[in-house]
């Protein structure tokens, strides 16, 4: 089978290989597999050419179901809420893009956010549908995010993270901890927590490590420099909360703030502030700093 030839917009589609099942049409399969989406909405997407076959062509509403058939579809969120923050592109060449992500903006589509994500915004701005994030930071966290701009060199940049060839520096503002000695290294085992979106420290061999130092003192609040050696979900937020200094304005740690809504005047005081690495393509040392600052 030949590879599909997509337009730039098509490359933003999600892909599904149809599973085993008894459905007479692709439409029937989609309706049952994604039962939160009404049949009328799938009919509307098909009518607008928003569901494609393996060749990148819009499917017919009566296309016969076949196990293993490759289908591409566009995620849509009706009346998606605009996130009133603006990202900044700090660097861009044919291989690499470095962006400064503001608080509250997701990196990639998920849940109620599709177009209001850093990835989709950059694809539109740079007219490059091949952009792929090389790592992630939380929606509530601000700061640096690296993107691969060229699939031919992508694997070289992706290898920087699991092989720990990239130095990451974060800043956080949290309660003062005069009873502890700094700098210090915090190693623990992170496991899934409750509710499902949280992490927690558990028993067993450590799988996370963060070096923590004090950068500035301001009464009851300190500015901390955080250097994660590993990159687990919510690692820095959990580690600071475990030390007794949950990061300011954190809606998840140490306790979940019930029914919390985004307050743009009170962002999480956590910033991906610096990245340093040797560029695997050019061989040059790269150092990027966020232009965002955390105020007290």
pLDDT above 70: percentage of residues in the chain: 95
Per-residue model confidence as pLDDT tens digits over 117-165: 999 899 989 999 889 999 999 999 999 999 999 999 999 999 999 999 9
Helices marked H in 49-108:
none
Domain end call among 73, 101, 117: 73
Residues 221 and 165 in one domain: yes
**Joined tokens for residue 25:** 């049409």
Does residue 8 carry a pLDDT above 70? no
- For residue 167, the enclosing domain spans 88-289
Hey, which residues does 285 pair with through a beta bridge? 278
What's the number of domains the chain is made of?
2
Output the CA torsion 272→94→88→224 (10° steps): 10
pTM: 0.79
In this predicted structure, the answer to whether residue 215 has a pLDDT above a threshold of 80 is yes
Q: What is the pLDDT of residue 40?
A: 87
Measure CA of the first residue to CA of the last residue in the chain; give whole Å.
58
Whether 128 and 215 share a structural domain: yes
- Residue 144 sits in the same domain as residue 181: yes
Higher pLDDT, 34 or 148: 148
274 vs 288: CA distance, rounded Å: 6
Identify whether the C-beta of residue 262 lies closer than 8 Å to the C-beta of residue 247: no
Pairing between strand 142-148 and 270-278? parallel
4 is a domain residue: no
Residue whose tokens read 């690692």: 235
- CATH code for position 31: 3.10.290
Given 73, 102, 122, which residue is the final one in a domain?
73
User: At 206, which CATH number?
Assistant: 3.30.2350.10
Residue that the structure tokens 């509250």 belong to = 104
Asked whether residue 103 falls in the same domain as residue 19, the answer is: no
Choose the final residue of a domain: 32, 50, 73: 73
Q: What are 167-182's pLDDT values in tens digits?
A: 999 999 999 999 999 9
pLDDT at 12: 62
Residues 134 and 215 in one domain: yes
- Please, where are the H alpha helices in 143-276? 154-158, 235-242
pLDDT, tens digit, 9 for 90 and up, residues 54-90: 888 899 999 999 999 999 887 776 678 889 999 999 9
Residue 295: CB partners within 8 Å, gap ≥ 6? none
Q: Is the pLDDT of residue 2 over 60?
A: no
Q: Does 213 lie in the same domain as 132?
A: yes
Question: Is the residue at 1 inside a domain?
Answer: no
């Amino acid at each position: 089978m030949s590879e599909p030839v997509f337009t730039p917009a098509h490359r933003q589609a999600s892909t599904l290989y149809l599973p085993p099942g008894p459905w007479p049409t692709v439409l029937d399969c989609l309706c049952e597999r994604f039962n939160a989406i009404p049949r009328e909405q799938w009919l509307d997407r098909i009518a607008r050419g928003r569901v494609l076959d393996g060749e990148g062509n819009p499917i017919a509403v009566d296309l016969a179901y076949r196990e293993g058939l490759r289908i591409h579809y566009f995620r849509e969120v009706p009346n998606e809420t605009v996130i009133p923050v603006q990202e900044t592109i700090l660097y861009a060449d044919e291989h690499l893009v470095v962006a400064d992500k503001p608080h509250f903006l997701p990196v990639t589509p998920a849940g109620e956010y599709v177009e209001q994500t850093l990835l989709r915004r950059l694809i539109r701005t740079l007219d490059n549908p091949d952009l792929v994030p090389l790592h992630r930071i939380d929606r509530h966290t601000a700061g640096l995010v690296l993107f691969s701009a060229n699939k031919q060199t992508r694997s070289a940049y992706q290898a920087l993270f699991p092989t720990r060839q990239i130095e990451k520096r974060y800043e956080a503002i949290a309660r003062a901890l005069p009873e502890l000695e700094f700098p210090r290294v915090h190693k623990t085992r992170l496991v899934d927590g409750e509710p499902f979106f949280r992490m927690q420290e558990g028993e067993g061999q450590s799988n996370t490590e963060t070096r923590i130092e004090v950068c500035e003192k301001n009464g009851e609040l300190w500015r901390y420099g955080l250097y994660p050696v590993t990159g687990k979900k919510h690692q820095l937020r959990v580690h600071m909360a475990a030390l007794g200094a949950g990061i300011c304005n954190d809606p998840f740690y140490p306790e979940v703030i019930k029914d919390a809504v985004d307050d743009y005047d009170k962002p999480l005081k956590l910033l991906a502030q610096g990245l340093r690495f040797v560029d695997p393509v050019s061989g040059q040392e790269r150092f990027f700093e966020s232009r965002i600052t955390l105020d007290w």
